[in-house]
A = this chain, B = another copy of it.
Amino acid sequence: MAKQAESKSLQKLANLRRQHKSFINIMPLQTGGMLTEAAQKALVEFGDGYSVCDFCLGSLCNITNPPVREFAHELLPEFLGCEVATLTYGARDGIFMIMHSLAKPGGSIIVDGNRHYTTVVAAERVGLNVIGVPSSGYPEFKVDVNDYVSLIKKHNPKLILLTYPDGNYGNISDARRLGEIAQEYDIPYIVNGAYAVGRMPVNMEGLGADFIVGSGHKSMASAGPCGVLGMKRKWEEIVLRKSEAYGNKELESLGCTLRGTPLVTLMASFPYVKERVNHWDEQVSKAQWFSRELEKLSFKQLGETPHQHDLLHFETPALYDISKHVRERGYFLYKELKERGIWGPQPGLTKAFKLSTFAATKEQLQFVIDSFKAILNKYG
């Protein structure tokens, strides 16, 4: 790198700024991960590397100051509805830990057709064959969990997994029914709750699952990377097995995972997160109302209707038509929304995109609706 270019690059790094920090945020990846005030304070307090580990005696989940032990061993299992919980870098990392512990290369896993890409990548990293349960396709993309049965009989999988809800359409499949199926065929069952845990009430045992993973940065008001993993006690000695050489170190977490700042944000936000899931019905009504209003503007909501989650996927042909005739092409929408203080659809997309109503108030969402209307009128 030339000296001058390098000096310019270094200057940029010393002054990193986020463009739309105070915007109305309706980006699905982000609406559940916005920090509470307590988490913002904890972030600064425990910003320095390894400061979480001040009083560590060799095991992250047993640190008493800050109170990681109480959090991981008592509060978290109760919140997840499971017997044993631990901390991870994120939902995907929890899924990999389970797969890597329970299955061998060449084994099979059956997953819903709407699964996140990381489920497939984690399986591939372990060497597993992934068998997908197809959804109903356009426009609802529903997964009927009864379709797992014939595939279980055919493939004799080591594991089954359900994405609950999925991150593409926000569909809530019948996780409880799949729990019955898992028990009937005696197959360990993973619930990927990256968009559930921390947003809506979810109870692993109540769903009849063996494992549940959640994401701190996606749905628990935390900085990333950060996640949680809950399980039945019987899996503890397998997934959380200790090293033969170091009896107090867990193999799948390479000793310990979340040795840093995201963990304290997860903990600091937890009282708020625990409370907010009780207001899930209000979130669902808000999402349904927002969806109806956008449909009046000719947008078409994909996924289940009426919708049961704040993650919404819309087809927006009217916006796509505009993009074909303007200088900025697909980026016109991003620009128009940015001017109005709204951050949501992935920049460049106009044909179809995902939104989340989780973090915005009804007043803010009304402003979003009015803004879409104004944009359509401006170019229409």
Query: Which residues of A pack against B, CB within 8 Å?
Result: 1, 6, 9-21, 27, 29-30, 32-35, 38-55, 65-67, 70-71, 74-75, 78, 89-90, 92-93, 96, 100, 117-118, 120-122, 124-125, 130, 215-218, 220-226, 243-246, 249, 251-252, 254-255, 257-262, 264-265, 267-268, 270-272, 274, 343, 347
Contact = CB atoms under 8 A, between A and B. Distances in A.
A21 B93 CA distance: 31
A11 B268 CA distance: 9
In the A-B complex, the 3 residue pairs with the closest CB atoms = A33-B49, A224-B260, A49-B217
Given A258-B225, A261-B262, A18 B45 contact: yes
A153 to B, nearest CB: 24
Contact of A92 (B30, B121, B218, B255): B255
B217 A259 contact: yes
Contact of A16 (B49, B55, B267): B267
A268 to B, nearest CB: 5
Contacts of A264: 16
A43 to B, nearest CB: 5
Contact of A225 (B34, B78, B220, B259): B259
Interface centre among A13, A17, A41, A44 (most CB of B within 10 A): A13
